[in-house]
A and B are shown apart, each in its own frame.
Chain A
Amino acid sequence: MAQKLFRIDILIIILIILSIISMFVGVIPLSINEIFNLSEQQQNILATSRFPRTVSIIIAGASLAVSGLIMQQLTRNKFVSPTTAGTMDWAQLGILIGLVMFPAINLFGRLAFSLVLAIFGTLLFMQIITRIKLKDVIFVPLIGLMLGGVVSSIATFIALRTNSLQVISGWMHGSFSTVISGRYEILYISIPLLIIAVLFANQFTVAGMGEDFSKNLGMNYTRVLYTGLFITAAITALVVVTVGMLPFLGLIIPNIVSMFKGDHLQKTIYSTAVLGAIFVMFCDILGRVLIYPYEISVGLMIAIFGSFIFLWMIYRRVKTNA
């Protein structure tokens, strides 16, 4: 039953329906009946705001979910994700450093800074978890969260000293309301990264079985590990730069899919991507209609739903282990 619910065709249909709804929800009224009879203003809204918003939700949701999936596989820990490994905080710190050093920095420049620090942060995290011998499933993400907390404090400190606190608060709570054409296209870079992730799906699964296991099968473990970490860091940086932090996503979506479909990435990567997009789309639409005509930021909506799902996940795990 649950297996069927996660069939890829059903998920895609749900996503398409939500995407259509997303295109027609907003302050400027736009109805499906008028689709062939749009005023210039309405056409404009569709092209510059609604369409970019919907597309960026799909890309951001899908790619963050997939990057969480890859991280969990490579670290062999279900609680590791771009949030719980601190990658998001590093990406944010990167943007801030870029802004402070070059106030007129463009989107690509911010991305570059963000990417460098995200990669650095991910590698540091991997170094720490390979050095420490305590392999408790909860202990590993706790280290990541602490590391992320430290990085985030540094960012806040720098922001305070440079009077840019308002700027970083924009990235603290991810939101798609600022996504308009001309400002989000950079997110398309995630698509080739997702394609690489799909091509490597089998290798990531083998790597998740361990280094010795990979070596026995003649796979270059280190190369696969670094490919995966690069993809996750790059995706995280891209999303943080364009829409800001989306917490929990990379954590809960892969876990939900894994519960029903197992851990073979070739089998789960598509469902994870589509479910990630569905979840973000759902939260974004809800955030747009709840206090209409105002908006609740999607980051907050995701955090609300995400924390409940996360608690349920932990509860379920405790129950099955007992």
Chain B
Amino acid sequence: MISVKGITKLYGDKKVVDDVSLSIAKGKITSLIGPNGAGKSTVLSMITRLLDNDSGDVLLEGENIFTQPNSELAKKISILKQSNHLELKITVRELIAFGRYPYSKGRLTNEDNALIDEAIDYMELGEFEDRFIDELSGGQRQRAYIAMTIAQDTEYIFLDEPLNNLDMKHSVQIMQILRRLVRERNKTIIIVIHDINFASCYSDNIVALKDGEVAISGTKNEVIKKDILEDIYEMEINIECIMGHQICIYFDEHADATVDDFVKEQAQI
């Protein structure tokens, strides 16, 4: 379990993250949601020690992560940032092999190679393994990055907006992969996500941030509620239960009209 205790981040005098406390349950998908500028990515960067905090603690299984050696932490938590755009010509296999760096420091053993092969198979990247990353489509590239974290074999996996720039099909594919990692490998996954319906359909727990503070944290059924979400996003949000999922409908004041038109059209057919 990861416990975050009152972390704060200041940029100048402005508190972008203010006294955030939360706990991350093992073997679950936890989504961080919230409007732009709520501090989601900053919180993620602090929990994963990429960014120094100005106060507060992050405890991984009870131990402070800021006092642990970086090289040991790399075997326990992995983080994929959205800024991992790159111009370097690296093949898919080479990228995935970086995942073994915390263990082998670049000198790959047979065991490392076996784990890399396995990660390639798991993400069905076999046909691309010798292609350069910059030749892949967005969805394939995201799969390659996730394969790297699989090779890194950490219990905790943090992803900063993994669905950015992906279409619906590939977004669903990525989320299904994440669910599979939780189910089959008992991974703990924490994602920053913008699409509230993806958060609702695929996560176990949701933490909502607003203005650098935790607005609410709980199971998805506790968070996906009309009054709570309207308060966070400051807009009208209706929630419908469709095929067992809580779906948020948030298309401003005309939303009702649109739904009515849709129902009428359906009736005519």
User: Could you list which residues of chain A lie within 8 angstroms of chain B, going by C-beta atoms?
Assistant: 76, 78, 201-203, 205-206, 208-210, 212-213, 215-220, 258, 262-264, 266-267
Q: A216-B79, A217-B152 are in contact. Are A202 and B105 (CB under 8 A)?
A: yes
Whether B91 contacts A219 by the Cβ 8 Å rule is: no
Please name the residue on chain A nearest to B160 by beta carbon: A212
Is there contact, CB below 8 Å, between A215 and B88?
Answer: no
B residues in contact with A218, CB < 8 Å: 69-75, 101-102
User: Which among A78, A201, A219, A258 has the greatest number of chain B C-beta atoms within 10 A?
Assistant: A219
Q: List 25 A–B pairs whose Cβ atoms lie within 8 Å, in order of A's numbering.
A: A76-B88, A202-B106, A209-B84, A209-B88, A209-B90, A210-B84, A212-B45, A212-B84, A215-B50, A215-B70, A216-B48, A216-B74, A216-B78, A217-B74, A217-B98, A217-B152, A218-B69, A218-B70, A218-B71, A218-B72, A219-B71, A220-B70, A258-B89, A262-B90, A266-B106
Listed from nearest, the 9 A-B pairs whose CB atoms lie closest are A218-B74, A202-B106, A218-B71, A262-B89, A263-B88, A217-B101, A218-B102, A263-B89, A218-B70
B49 at the interface (CB under 8 A from A): yes
Among A209, A218, A220, A267: residue with most chain B CB under 10 A: A218
A267 contacts which chain B residues (CB < 8 A)? 94
Interface size class of chain B, counting residues whose CB lies under 8 Å from the partner chain: 20 to 34
B149 to chain A, nearest CB (A): 9
With both beta carbons as reference points, the residue of chain A lying nearest to B73 in the complex is identified as A218
Q: Which A residues are in CB contact (< 8 Å) with B89?
A: 258, 262-263
| Interface of B (DSSP majority class) | loop
User: Would B101 and A219 count as touching, CB distance under 8 A?
Assistant: yes
Expressed in whole angstroms, the minimum distance between the Cβ of B191 and any Cβ of chain A is 15
Residue of A208, A220, A263 with most chain B CB atoms under a 10 A cut-off: A263
Q: How far apart are the CA atoms of A216 and B75 in the complex, in Å?
A: 9
Question: Which residues from 24 to 49 on chain B have a C-beta closer than 8 Å to any C-beta of chain A?
Answer: 45, 48-49
Q: With contacts A209-B88, A212-B84, A258-B89 known, what are 20 further pairs, Cβ within 8 A?
A: A76-B87, A205-B88, A208-B88, A209-B84, A209-B86, A209-B98, A212-B45, A213-B84, A215-B50, A216-B48, A216-B80, A217-B99, A218-B74, A218-B102, A219-B74, A220-B70, A262-B89, A262-B94, A262-B132, A263-B89
B165 on interface, CB distance cutoff 8 Å: no
CB proximity to A under 8 Å, residues B79-134:
79-81, 83-84, 86-91, 94, 98-99, 101-102, 105-107, 132
Contact of A210 (CB < 8 Å), options: B69, B70, B73, B83: B83
| Contact residues, B214-247 vs A (CB, 8 A) | none
Residue of A nearest to B158 (CB): A216
The answer to whether A264 and B70 touch across the interface, beta carbons within 8 angstroms, is no
Query: Taking chain A's interface residues, is the majority helix, strand, or loop, or is none over half, making it mixed?
Result: helix
B106 touches A203 (CB 8 A): yes
When C-beta atoms are compared, the residue in chain B nearest to A264 turns out to be B94
Which residues in A have their C-beta under 8 angstroms from that of B86?
Answer: 76, 209-210
Chain B positions within 8 Å of A264 at CB level: 90-91, 94
Q: Across the interface, which residues of A come within 8 angstroms of B69, CB to CB?
A: 218
User: A216 contacts which chain B residues (CB < 8 A)?
Assistant: 48, 50, 74, 78-80
- Closest Cβ of chain A to B49, distance in Å, is 7
How many angstroms between the C-alpha atoms of A219 and B78 in the bound complex? Answer: 13
Q: Is the CB of A212 within 8 A of B79?
A: yes
A241 to B24, CA, bound (A): 58
> How many angstroms from the CA of A208 to the CA of B90 in the assembled complex?
11
Question: Which residues of A have CB within 8 Å of B84?
Answer: 209-210, 212-213
- A209 CA to B96 CA, complexed, in Å: 13
A266 and B106 CA atoms in complex are apart in Å by: 9
**B15 → chain A closest CB, angstroms:** 22
| List of A residues within 8 angstroms of B90 by Cβ | 205, 209, 262-264
Which of chain B's residues 129-180 have a Cβ closer than 8 Å to chain A? Answer: 132, 152
List A contacts of B83 (CB < 8 A).
Answer: 210, 212
- A201–B106 CA distance with the chains assembled, in angstroms: 9
Residue from A215, A216, A267 whose CB has the most chain B CB atoms within 10 Å: A216
Report A-chain residues with C-beta under 8 Å of the C-beta of B105.
202
A206 adjacent to B75 (CB under 8 Å) = no
